[in-house]
Amino acid sequence: MTHDPQSVSGAVTAGFALLLVAMILCLALEEKLHAKKSVIVAVFAVVCLLLGGLLHLLPFEEMVVVVGEEHIALPIYIPAIDWGVVAIILGSSLFVDITSKSGLFTWIAIVLTKTSRGDPVRLLIFYGVMTVAFSAVLNNVTAMIIVGSLTAVSLGRLGIGDKLLGFLLVEGLLTNVGGLLTLISSVPNIIVGNAAGITFVTFFSKTAPYVVVVTGITIWLGAKVFDIRPLASDEARSEAAQRVSGFDENDGIESRFKFTFGAVMLGAFIVTIAAASIPDTVLHSLGMGYVALSFAVIMLVQYKSIADRFYQAVDWDLLAFFAALFVVINVMEHAQVLALIGRGLAPILELGDTVGPSTLLFSSAAASSVTDNIPLAAMLAKILGSLDLAADSPYWWAVIFGANLGGNITPIGSASTLVAVTIIHKHGLELSFVGFVRAALPFAALQLVLAAGYVLWVL
Amino acid sequence: MTKLDQFHSAFLAADKTTLHYEKLAVEHVLVVSDLDGDAAGELLNRVRTFLSVVDDDGTRWARLDGGGFSSVKQLLDAVDEQAPDLIVTYRHLHSSAWQWPHSLGEYLDVLTQATRVPVVVLPHPDAARALPHALKNTERVMAITDHLDGDDRLVNYALGFTEAGGRCWLTHVEPTSVFEHYLDVISKIPEIDTESARELIERQLLKGPHDYIASCRRRIAERHLPYEIGEIVAMGRRLGEYRRLITEHSVDLLVINTMDDAQLAMHGLAYPLAVELRQIPLLML
C-alpha cells in the first residue's frame, strides 16, 4: 500500500528533505569529493528507494503497464525516469558527436578565423557569435571545447596570448546565453520546456531576441573590459592576415561526402526538431527524443563499422546522473518534499506578476551558481507543473532564464564555464574562484537584470 | 583522450606552417683555398661558372688564397674583415688529410661554426671524388633536414641556389631508429595502443613536412618563380637514404643546416653528412 499525501508524517518529509539537501551539497562539492555526479546521485537514489520502500511511500502495486491485454510489471524506478528527456539527450549528443567527426564544426570555426583576418575585435565577435550558435545547436560544453580550443591556438598563432583570458571568459559566459536559444540547447530547457508544454518553435521565437541583444552587449562589454582593440596599422593587419592564413579548414575533413552529408543532416535535424513541435502530427506524437535518436542512427550508418567508438564517447555520466536524479525526485515527490518546497515557493508566487517571477528568476540563478542547475530545473518543473500554470506563464521563463544564466556567476555554476576555466589554467593563466566571480559578475548581473525585464515586459 | 584534447589537437594540426619567401641576395662571395696564383684563379673561375645562379652584375667575387692565412685565427680575421655573404671553400685546407674521409679539417670545422656566413663546401680539388655532373651548374638542388616544416631559411637558400627552370628537392627523412625506439617504449605502456600509435604518429610526423612543402609550392606558384619543387618525405636511415637520393636524382648541390643554438659543435645531422657526402658540393648554413 502507498501513503496518502496527508498521511506522510512531517518527520518523514523532513528526513527526505535533509537527504535532498545533502545530495545538492554533495553535487556542489563534486570536485572535492572526487566523485562523478552520476555516482553521487545514484547513491542517493539507492538510499531514497530503500527508505521509500521501507516506509511504504512508493506505489509498488501501481507499477504495471497495460498494453492491450498484456500486463507488464515495471520496477518502480523505471517509470520514475523521464525517458523522453533521456532520449533527447542521448540522441542529440550521439548525433552531434558523429557530425563533428565529419569535420563540419572545425571547418566552420577555421573559416571564421580566416575571415576575421586575425583582427582581435573581429575574432571576438566571430568567436562570440560562434559560441552562441554552437551552444544552441550542440551543447554548451562541446561549444566551449571547440571555440575555446581554437581560441587558444589562434591567439597563440597571432602572438596575442595575453588576451586569451578575456576571450575565454567572454566565450564561457556566452555558452550559457546561447544555451537559451532553443528548447534543446540545454538540459534545463528540455526539462522545463517539456513540463510546461512549450514547443521548439515557441521557445525559439521567445528567447531569440533576448539572446541576440545580450550576445551583442556581452561582446561589446568584453572588448571594453579586457581591452581588446582592432589592429592599428596596415602592417599589423597584413601580418595578422598572413598568420591566420596558415590555418587549413580542410585538414580535419576525411571525406568530402561525409562532410556534406553532415552539413545537410545538421540542417535537416534542426528543421525536423522544429517540425516535431507542430501539434497533431506523427513527429509530435513520437516526440523530439525519437527525432534525435533517428538522426543519430542515420549518421551512424556512415560509420557503421566503428559505431562502438561513438557509443564509448557518449556522456554516460550525464545520462546516469539524469536517470538517478529523476528517481530521487520521484521519491521526494512521494515523500511530500516537493510539496513542502512548493509551499515554500508559495510566498514567492504570491508576490504578484512582477516581483514573483523576478524573485524566482534571481533565486534560480543564485541556486544555479553554486550547484548543478539540472536538479533545480527538475524540481521546479515538477513543482510548477503541479500548479497548472499556462505554458506562457512568466514563472516557467523565470526558471529557464535563471537556471541558465546563474551558471555565469561562478566557475562551478555550469559545466561550460568550468571548461573555460580549465582551458585558462591549461595555458598557464591564473584565475581563482574569486577572480572569476569578480570578472564575471558585472556580465552576469547585467544579463540577469535584462532577463528579468525581458521576462516581465517583453514575453 | 578528452574531447578538449581532441579539438585542441585538431586545431593545432590545422594550423599549418607556411613558407615566408624571401629572395636571396648574395652581393659578396669569398673563395677560400689553399692554392695560390693561377690555380687559385682557375678555381675562382670554376666556382663562378658553377654558382652562376648567384652571379650578377653587382656581385663582388674575392679570393683568399693559401698564402693569405696559415692559422684558423688568420682565416677568421680575414673573413671578418671582408664580411662576405657567402664563402666557398673545400675540406682539409692546408692539409693532406683529405685522403681519409673522417673529418672536415680544422679550418672548415671552425669556420662553419664561428661565423653565420653560409659556406659552400666543394669536393677537394685533388681528391677526384666529385661525381661526373658535379660543379657544372645548380639545376638540381636538394635541401636536407630532419625538421623541414618552418625552416624558411633553408628553403629560401635552396631556392636561391636553384637555377631558373631547375628542380629544388625539399627532403625530410625521419630517422627510423628514433621512431622505433619510442614505439618500443610505447609498446610497454598498456594505456596506449601500439599499432594505432605507430600508424598515427608516423602519419603525423610525415604530414607536417608534406603540408609545408605544399605551402612552398603555393608560394612559388603565386610569385611565378621558375622552379619545380620535388618532395621527398619518408622514414629511413638518414645517411644511407641521402646517399641513395643524391645518386638517384643527380643532385648538383646539397643544402644543409649546420648551426645548432643548443651547442657549439655542428648540428647532429650535418657533421656525418658533411664528412661522408664528399662527391658533390654542399651549402652549409
Q: What residues does B90 pair with on adjacent strands?
A: B122
Chain B residue numbers touching A426 (CB-CB < 8 A): 4
Domain membership of residue B11 (yes or no) is no
Closest residue, chain B, to A314 (C-alpha): B3
Closest residue, chain A, to B9 (C-alpha): A149
Q: Do B11 and A249 touch (CB under 8 A)?
A: no
CA distances from A218 to A152, A281, A314, A379, B42 (A): 20, 39, 32, 30, 75
Q: Does A161 touch chain B (CB under 8 A)?
A: no
Its ipTM equals 0.75
Chain B residue numbers touching A96 (CB-CB < 8 A): none
Q: Does B4 touch chain A (CB under 8 A)?
A: yes
Task: Residue count of chain A, please give it.
Answer: 459
Nearest CA distance, B21 vs chain A (angstrom): 12
Q: Does B203 touch chain A (CB under 8 A)?
A: no
Asked if pLDDT for residue B1 goes beyond 60, the answer is: no
Q: Does B16 touch chain A (CB under 8 A)?
A: yes
Q: Do A246 and B211 touch (CB under 8 A)?
A: no
Report pLDDT for B274: 77
Domain membership of residue B10 (yes or no) is no
pLDDT, tens digit, 9 for 90 and up, residues B61-105:
998 888 888 888 998 998 899 899 999 998 888 877 777 777 788
Chain A residue numbers touching B3 (CB-CB < 8 A): 141-142, 145, 313
Asked if pLDDT for residue A2 goes beyond 50, the answer is: no
Domain membership of residue B118 (yes or no) is yes
| Percentage of chain A lying above the pLDDT 90 cut | 41
Report pLDDT for A277: 73
Segment among A27-31, A224-228, A256-260 with least mean pLDDT: A27-31
When CB atoms are compared, the residue of B7, B10, B18 closest to A246 is B18
Report pLDDT for A3: 52
Q: Do A423 and B4 touch (CB under 8 A)?
A: yes
Task: Show the cell assigned to A160.
Answer: 596575442
Report pLDDT for B261: 66
Asked if pLDDT for residue B271 goes beyond 80, the answer is: no
Asked if pLDDT for residue B226 goes beyond 70, the answer is: yes
- Cα Rg of chain A, angstroms: 23
CA distances from B16 to A107, B150, B210, B214, B258 (A): 14, 9, 10, 10, 25
When CB atoms are compared, the residue of A245, A251, A419 closest to B13 is A251
Task: Show the cell assigned to A269.
Answer: 535535424
Chain A residue numbers touching B20 (CB-CB < 8 A): 242
- Give the three-state DSSP class for B28: strand
The overall average pLDDT reported for chain A is 88
| Stronger pLDDT, B124 or A18, i.e. the higher one | A18
pLDDT, tens digit, 9 for 90 and up, residues B13-38:
888 888 888 888 889 999 998 888 88
Domain coordinates in residue numbering, chain A: 1-79+316-336, 104-252+351-459
Average pLDDT over residues A391-397: 90
Asked if pLDDT for residue A246 goes beyond 90, the answer is: no
Residue appearing with cell numbers 556566452: A174
pLDDT, tens digit, 9 for 90 and up, residues A123-167:
999 999 999 999 988 778 888 888 999 899 999 989 998 999 999
Q: How many domains does chain B have?
A: 1
Q: Do A142 and B3 touch (CB under 8 A)?
A: yes
Average pLDDT over residues A2-14: 75
Average pLDDT over residues A338-345: 81
pLDDT, tens digit, 9 for 90 and up, residues B103-116:
788 888 888 888 88
**DSSP string of B95-116, one letter each residue:** -SGGGSTT---HHHHHHHHH--
Domain membership of residue B158 (yes or no) is yes
Average pLDDT over residues B144-160: 90
Domain membership of residue B186 (yes or no) is no
Segment among B105-109, B131-135, B239-243 with least mean pLDDT: B131-135
Confidence of residue B130 (pLDDT cuts 50, 70, 90): low
Confidence of residue B262 (pLDDT cuts 50, 70, 90): low
| Stronger pLDDT, B100 or A12, i.e. the higher one | A12
| Stronger pLDDT, A236 or A341, i.e. the higher one | A236
| Stronger pLDDT, B156 or A82, i.e. the higher one | B156
Average pLDDT over residues B155-172: 93
| Stronger pLDDT, A65 or A290, i.e. the higher one | A290
Average pLDDT over residues A422-435: 87
Report pLDDT for A36: 86
CATH label of the domain that carries residue B94? 3.40.50.12370
Q: Do B4 and A248 touch (CB under 8 A)?
A: no
A377 neighbors A335 (Cβ within 8 angstroms): no
Q: Does B215 touch chain A (CB under 8 A)?
A: yes
Asked if pLDDT for residue A325 goes beyond 50, the answer is: yes
Average pLDDT over residues A59-72: 72
A369 neighbors A413 (Cβ within 8 angstroms): yes
- Please state, in angstroms and rounded to a whole number, the distance separating the CA atoms of residues A31 and A425: 16
Report pLDDT for A4: 58
Chain A residue numbers touching B12 (CB-CB < 8 A): 153
Average pLDDT over residues B269-282: 79
Closest residue, chain A, to B18 (C-alpha): A246
Domain membership of residue B2 (yes or no) is no
Report pLDDT for B217: 92
Confidence of residue A1 (pLDDT cuts 50, 70, 90): very low
Report pLDDT for B106: 81
